[in-house]
Structure 1
Amino acid sequence: MTIDFSLLFSVLAGVVLLITLILRFKVQAFIALLLASILVGVLSGMPPKMIINTIEEGMGSTLGFVAVVVGLGAIFGAILERSGGAEALAAFMLNKFGEKQSSWALMVTGFIVAIPVFFDVAFIILIPMIYALQRKTGKSLLLYGIPLLAGLAITHSFIPPTPGPIAVAEILMADLGWVILFGFLVGVPTAIICGPLFGKYISKRIHVVAPELTINDQIFKKLPPVGSIIIIIAIPIIMIVLNTLLNSPFMADFNIPKKLLEWIGMIGHPFSALLIANLIAWYLLGIRKGFTKTQLLDISTKSLAPAGIIILITGAGGVFKQMLVNTGTGEMLANYFAEQGISLLLFGFLAAVIVRVLQGSATVAMITAAGLTAPLVLVNTSEPEKALLVIAIAAGASIMSHVNDSGFWLVGKYLGLTEKQTFQSWTVMTTILAIIGFLATFLLSLFF
């Protein structure tokens, strides 16, 4: 298989334009991805009308799934956030684990809370917990902050219904149940290493304290029962994974009635699972807690603003992928890599790493890498293999958060770190997260 260098050049030019527009000209990622896709089409010799049709095809095929899931997930997370559910869970975990094991409690809390709640929102909600611990123990704030951040970052990257893995899974046409399952298998050991273990190490070298408590910080409110929070978060995850497992080839010998599998397939579909979770949260955390219908409507409506941005960027990523498919670039590269024996996992990981380091946004890195990788996925690629590819890309997109990433400044500000200290703690932690996450994914790929 020979490489058509004109097609290869068109892809490289598209990626360069994308990064230049975002970095140099501060163009919104949605517009930048569309312009990069058009450039790929023009340079590859695609007719003008076909370029427009490809944009429509890529946008439509991607958003049919992503828009519904991300929208429902955003509403679900907003109700959990406003009801005090995240704080209730954190308080429960800290109480159960005790002060000595509080860093582990915070890691687990971050891991669970970030499933329905966006990373930055969850961090801001939970930051008072680690301030209180630091004031009580006098130890470095990083002993508690790093484990919490590790739990939040890993779930945010690896486990649906958070938007990043949802978007990558849809572009790669991977089954969400498998993505959730592998996200947990990879995420747990990764969280332990870059959370409590690294947190203990770095806290001995960088001592930072919580800001002084003001009268405005001393707010007390009645939190919802933690049992209901855990059940509500678990419902959609269990339903989706159960549907995947019962409809997988592993269950073929059990002779489950076809009609039953069809109904399980409907109830366990992400659309249905998240709808059910939303209705339960709406009642238990909304109506039962004293929220009016108008307040719940306002919470739901406001939650869709950040979701809308993610949905549009994901759609533009689908356009980029479709442009590679329709120009024939994807098939050419797929055949070449197959002949050379180059690992698709490694390609996806490195593609995400490069985009992440250059432009900062983990979401844009995931979507761009997924767009580059999707055309290389062969017809006979199994669902577990595609799910592992999703995790590999997510790991690469998490690496080395630095000054071009808003998360770098958010963490530094709330933990009271200098830029150098943020590099030594947060940047190093995200790099460990990415490397361990990829290595764990590679090990799993040997068995699937």
Structure 2
Amino acid sequence: MSAAGLILLAAFGVALLLFLVIRTKLQAFIALILVSYIVGLLSGMSSGEVLDAVSEGMGGTVAEVAIIIGIGAMFGEILKASGGAERLALTLMNKFGEKRVNWAMVLTGFIISIPVFLDVAFVILVPILYSLAQKTGKSLLYYGIPLLAGLAVTHSFVPPTPGPISVASLLGANIGWVILFGFLAGIPAAILAGPVFGTYIAKKIHATVPKEMMRNMAEEAKGKQYDKDLPSFRMIAGLILLPLFLILLNTFGSLLLPEESTWVSVLTFIGDPGVALTITALVTFYLLGTRRGYSKEEIQEIATKSLEPAGVIILITGAGGVFGTVLVEAGIGDVLADTMSNLNMPIIVFAFIVASAVRIAQGSATVAMVTAASLISPVIDTLGIEGPMLALLVITIASGATIASHVNDSGFWMVNRFFGLSEKDTLKSWTVMETIIALVGFSVTLVISFFIS
């Protein structure tokens, strides 16, 4: 097939994927697999070659992400059940003081969303927002936007959350570098989209606690009668930071120590994301489970429950790996790389545009990340990109997949409901907040790319 034909085929594949997900409501996993079959056959690959590519793509991708996402979900679930999110919020609120509670909220969101899914963490913490709004008379957005910004940034930028882990696996990026760049891009994004934008939009839109929300949610947070029963702040913060510390120790220890050193072997093992999370999960099960009175059966039930959403993400990521492998085998990667060179478009700009387009079209950040990474991965192979630049591309794709959340995204309606906003005000607040995160994240990665490319 000609180069132009392969470009059109790639565009057709993405368009077909969007049609299946948006219009027919086909589950993203089966949509990705189906499109992979169709694109492979239309490209001229034999049926045997298509099946081999599907097997290779699924096996290679799932082998990397299944352990990390599965154990990470267990870690987050036990943290949620123990009251760790509430402890972080209450302690940081006390430390920052009443005048800077919005800064405490963005930091709470930034930390807790590393192990706990965004929507789960938000639902856990929303009673505290209600309590603050009722106590001070300020708009819910004054506290809510900073919390959401913190949650959204680490949910998209900082492993071991599923999004960046999935993209890192598809691109072959080092997780340690992804964590570092995630923090570098995420901190300014969280500040600008959180306390800075939150203070501004709260003056424009006065959101109050919705009447249909249960009143006792705010009372529970206000009373703090459960405060003494929560785990300690130091324990929660230590458990969240432990896997990040081990992974970063591996990444930078191997750079600083002699290659033949025994310590390099030790750090490489314990700093592997899967091993680091396994260690953390076991410590968490003991400290927040067994030691706090949970039975073995209750801990097992909590861990098993967490695998339901994790399984879906693992399968979608595997299907993204299949799509990327088919594109490589069909020769589309070489053609895309040539096209980018002819257009003088840096790959980091191309990655952001692709992720943004898919995100705006179909709503799901996870699907946008996986689809964009699948399209970028064959280009990476052709251009020979490696090292820290791969990690930078992960954050770029995550930035694009965060942009402009609107009515086709479940997060939009979650904020709309819990804050009692109209669709117009949700667009002015939540959608703008997500777009600020995306643009700041992309700007930071673009600047860094000039120094490491």
TM-score > 0.5 by shorter chain: yes
- How many pairs align? 443
* TM-aligned CA deviation for residue 341 of structure 1: 2.9
1:63 corresponding residue in structure 2: 62
* TM-aligned CA deviation for residue 216 of structure 1: 6.5
**Pair 1:369 & 2:372 matched:** yes
2:20 corresponding residue in structure 1: 21
Matches within 5 A, 1:129-278: 129-211=128-210, 214-215=215-216, 218-219=219-220, 220-221=225-226, 222-248=229-255, 251=256, 254-255=257-258, 257-278=260-281
Cα distance, 1:107–1:342 mapped onto 2, change above 3 Å: same
Check the 8 A contact 1:131/1:211 in 2, yes or no.
no
Instruction: Decide which moves more: 379-388 or 139-148.
Output: 379-388
The residue type paired with residue 260 of structure 1 is W
TM (normalized to structure 2)? 0.95
2:306 to 282, 303, 307: 303
Report the Cα distance in structure 2 between the residues aligned to 1:312 and 1:320, rounded to whole angstroms: 12
Q: Percent identity?
A: 51
Q: Please, what is the CA RMSD of the aligned residues?
A: 1.4
1:48 corresponding residue in structure 2: 47
Cα distance, 1:215–1:270 mapped onto 2, change above 3 Å: closer
2:446 corresponding residue in structure 1: 442
The residue type paired with residue 403 of structure 2 is I
Check the 8 A contact 2:147/2:194 in 1, yes or no.
yes
1:411 corresponding residue in structure 2: 415
The residue type paired with residue 430 of structure 2 is W
Check the 8 A contact 1:59/1:319 in 2, yes or no.
yes
2:78 corresponding residue in structure 1: 79
* TM-aligned CA deviation for residue 51 of structure 1: 0.8
Check the 8 A contact 2:7/2:335 in 1, yes or no.
no
Report the Cα distance in structure 2 between the residues aligned to 1:352 and 1:216, rounded to whole angstroms: 37
* TM-aligned CA deviation for residue 217 of structure 1: 5.5
1:330 corresponding residue in structure 2: 333
1:290 corresponding residue in structure 2: 293
1:424 corresponding residue in structure 2: 428
* TM-aligned CA deviation for residue 445 of structure 1: 1.1
1:319 corresponding residue in structure 2: 322
The residue type paired with residue 227 of structure 1 is R
Check the 8 A contact 2:128/2:218 in 1, yes or no.
no
SS at match of 1:104: helix
1:385 corresponding residue in structure 2: 389
* TM-aligned CA deviation for residue 263 of structure 1: 1.3
2:105 corresponding residue in structure 1: 106
Check the 8 A contact 1:10/1:39 in 2, yes or no.
no
The residue type paired with residue 280 of structure 2 is A
Report the Cα distance in structure 1 between the residues aligned to 2:370 and 2:283, rounded to whole angstroms: 31
Report the Cα distance in structure 2 between the residues aligned to 1:3 and 1:99, rounded to whole angstroms: 64
Report the Cα distance in structure 2 between the residues aligned to 1:215 and 1:439, rounded to whole angstroms: 42
Report the Cα distance in structure 1 between the residues aligned to 2:263 and 2:435, rounded to whole angstroms: 45
Report the Cα distance in structure 2 between the residues aligned to 1:237 and 1:215, rounded to whole angstroms: 36
* TM-aligned CA deviation for residue 340 of structure 1: 4.2
The residue type paired with residue 30 of structure 1 is F
* TM-aligned CA deviation for residue 383 of structure 1: 1.6
* TM-aligned CA deviation for residue 176 of structure 1: 0.3
* TM-aligned CA deviation for residue 382 of structure 1: 3.1
Structure 1 residues 374-395: Cα deviation after superposition (integer angstroms, max 9, x where no partner): 1111464232100000000000
Structure 1 residues 319-350: Cα deviation after superposition (integer angstroms, max 9, x where no partner): 00001111111122223423543210011110
Cα distance, 1:218–1:206 mapped onto 2, change above 3 Å: closer
**Pair 1:400 & 2:404 matched:** yes
SS at match of 1:446: helix
5+ residue gaps, structure 2, are none
Instruction: Decide which moves more: 218-227 or 126-135.
Output: 218-227
2:91 corresponding residue in structure 1: 92
The residue type paired with residue 411 of structure 1 is V
Report the Cα distance in structure 2 between the residues aligned to 1:402 and 1:431, rounded to whole angstroms: 10
Check the 8 A contact 2:130/2:218 in 1, yes or no.
no
Cα distance, 1:91–1:374 mapped onto 2, change above 3 Å: same
Report the Cα distance in structure 1 between the residues aligned to 2:344 and 2:293, rounded to whole angstroms: 60
Cα distance, 1:26–1:64 mapped onto 2, change above 3 Å: same
